[in-house]
Amino acid sequence: MIKRLFFAFLFLLIVIGGLAAIKGFQIRDLIKAGESFSPPPIVVTATEVTTANWESRLSAIGTLEAAQGVMITADMPGRVVKLAFEGGESVAAGDLLVEQENTGELADLEAAQADLQLARRNLDRIEELFEQRVVPRSDVDVSRSTAKAAQARVDRIGTSLTKKQIVAPFAGRLGLKLVDIGQDLTSGVAIVSLQKVDPMLVNFSVPQQALANINSGLAVEVTTDAVSDKPFSGKVTAIDTQINESTRTVRIQATLDSASESEDFKLLPGMFAKVNILLPDAREVLMVPLTSVSFNTFGDSVFVLDEPPPPEENAPPRRGPPPQTGPDGLSAIQQFVQLGERRGDFVEITRGLEAGQVIAKDGVFKLRNGAAIDITEEGETKPSLNPKPNNG
C-alpha cells in the first residue's frame, strides 16, 4: 500500500514539474517578445517654427455709437392723423414721418391772410393820400405797422403748420414707432428714434500711460459678438482733451469704415465691442499653430520631431521605454515652452523653441515622449492669423 502511494506521489510531482517548466518557457518567450516589441509609428502632420512681424496692439473695451442720433419728438401739441413710416426702415433727410391735425391752424391762416390783404390795401391807399398831402405821415406809419403785424401773424401760423409736419432731420434708420394714429401728442413726446449708423463710431478708454503712443489716424480693429466672424476696421478720429480723475484714463473715439451698411445694420448703437489699436511699432516673434501646443496644468509643451539624442555618459538610467523612431528616423521629443500672445490660429513662443525646428501640428494628443513618428500631409489643417469661421 505504501509503495503504491509513493509511486502515485512521484508521478504527480513529475506532472507538476513538467507543467511548471512549460509555463516558465512560455513566460520567458513572452518577456523576450515584449522586450523586442516596437509599437507602430504615430501618424501626425508637421510644421516648422517660423518668425513673423506682429504689429504692437493695445486692447480696450468700447461702446458703439451712431454718427448721428436723435429721438424725434413733437414740437406742437396735436392729434396724429398720419404716420408715414412703419418702423425699422431707412429714410432720407426731409421725409415726412408724422402729420398732426391742423384744421384749426388752416382756418387761422386763412383769416390771417385776409387781414394781411386788407392791411396791404389800406397801406396802398394811405400812401397815395400821403403823396397827395391829404393825410399826415403818422397815418402811413400806422398802416405799415398794421401790415407788418398781419404778415407776422401769417408767418407764425405757417410755422405752426410746418411744425405739425414732422420730418426726418437727416438720413438714417428709424427705430420702433412709439405713437399711433389718433393719439394726442403734447410737446416733447417721443415718436421714433432716428440713427445714422453709417459710418459707425466706437468710444473706448485707454490708460493715461498709453496716450503717448496714440494719435489720430491710427488703425483700429473692432469685433463684436453680433458679427463674431468678421473684424471691422477703422481709424482713430478724436482724442478727449482731459483725463478722467477717477480712473486715470482718456476717452478715444474711432470711426469705422462704412461697416454697418455692408453688414445689413448688424452693428447698432450701444453695442459692446472689443477694440484693438494697431500701434506703428512691430516686433519679431516665434509663432506656432495652436494645434501644436499641448496644454497642461504642469506646463505647456510641444513635440519636436527629430532624431532621438544619444544617451549621455554617466547619465542616470532612463525610466520607461527607450525612444522609438519612425520610417524617417524621427521621434517625438517633448519640449516645454512658454507662451506669449495669441493671434488667430497662432500663438507666440517666448521660450523653449528656435526658428526652423520641426514640430508636430495635428494629432498632438496621441503623442508621448519618445514615440515613433510617421509624418503625413493627409488631414492637415491650415491655420490663419485672421481666421473666418464658416457658419454655413
Model confidence at 88, in pLDDT bands (50, 70, 90)? confident
Mean pLDDT of the chain: 83
Apex 207 CA angle, 205 and 209, nearest 5: 145
pTM: 0.61
Same domain (yes/no): 93, 175: yes
Q: What is the pLDDT of residues 252-311, one digit of tens each?
A: 999 998 654 445 567 888 899 999 998 887 788 899 999 999 998 888 999 998 877 666
Same domain (yes/no): 90, 172: yes
Listed in sequence order, the residues at least 6 apart from 129 whose beta carbon sits closer than 8 Å to its beta carbon are 135, 139
Lowest mean pLDDT: which of 35-44, 123-132, 182-191?
Answer: 35-44
Residue at 122 is within a domain: yes
Rounded distance between C-alpha atoms, residue 380 and residue 346, angstroms = 15
CATH code of the domain containing 119: 1.10.287.470
Percentage of the residues of the chain whose pLDDT score is greater than 90: 30
Same domain (yes/no): 156, 227: no
CATH code of the domain containing 366: 2.40.420.20
Strands 184-185 and 249-256: unpaired
The whole-number average pLDDT for the span 72-78 is 91
- The H or E element containing residue 346 is strand 346-351
* Higher-scoring residue by pLDDT: 391, 166: 166
Domain count for the chain, please give it.
Answer: 4
Same domain (yes/no): 62, 201: yes
C-alpha cell at 367: 503623442
Same domain (yes/no): 61, 205: yes
Model confidence at 392, in pLDDT bands (50, 70, 90)? very low
Q: What is the pLDDT of residues 341-376, one digit of tens each?
A: 888 889 999 999 999 899 999 888 888 888 888 888
Residue at 294 is within a domain: yes
The segment with the largest mean pLDDT, out of 66-75, 220-229, 302-311, is 66-75
**Which of residues 117, 146, 163 is at a domain's end?**
163
Residue at 3 is within a domain: no
Same domain (yes/no): 120, 262: no
Residue at 9 is within a domain: no
Same domain (yes/no): 141, 169: no
Same domain (yes/no): 86, 178: yes
Rounded distance between C-alpha atoms, residue 234 and residue 225, angstroms = 18
Strands 46-48 and 358-360: antiparallel
pLDDT of residue 260: 46
Same domain (yes/no): 61, 202: yes
Render 278-345 in DSSP notation, one character per residue: EEEEEEEEEEEEGGG-B--TT--EEEEEEPPPPPPTTPPPPPSSPP---TTS-EEEEEE-EEEEEETT
Residue at 325 is within a domain: yes
Model confidence at 227, in pLDDT bands (50, 70, 90)? confident
Q: What is the pLDDT of residues 294-316, one digit of tens each?
A: 998 888 999 998 877 666 655 55
Residue at 242 is within a domain: yes
Same domain (yes/no): 86, 147: no
The whole-number average pLDDT for the span 7-32 is 69
Any idea what DSSP says for residue 180?
A: -
Q: Please check whether residue 255 is in contact with residue 199, taking contact to mean a CB–CB distance below 8 angstroms.
A: yes
Rounded distance between C-alpha atoms, residue 361 and residue 290, angstroms = 8
pLDDT of residue 153: 92
45 phi and psi angles, rounded to 5 deg: -95, 160
Instruction: State the residue range of the domain holding 61.
Output: 57-66+197-283
Percentage of the residues of the chain whose pLDDT score is greater than 70: 85
Residue at 349 is within a domain: yes
pLDDT of residue 262: 43
**pLDDT of 225 strictly over 60:** yes
Rounded distance between C-alpha atoms, residue 343 and residue 340, angstroms = 10
Render 218-268 in DSSP notation, one character per residue: -EEEEE-STTTT-PEEEEEEEE-SS--TTT-EEEEEEEESSHHHHTTS---
Q: Please check whether residue 168 is in contact with residue 187, taking contact to mean a CB–CB distance below 8 angstroms.
A: no
Residue at 33 is within a domain: no
pLDDT of residue 314: 57
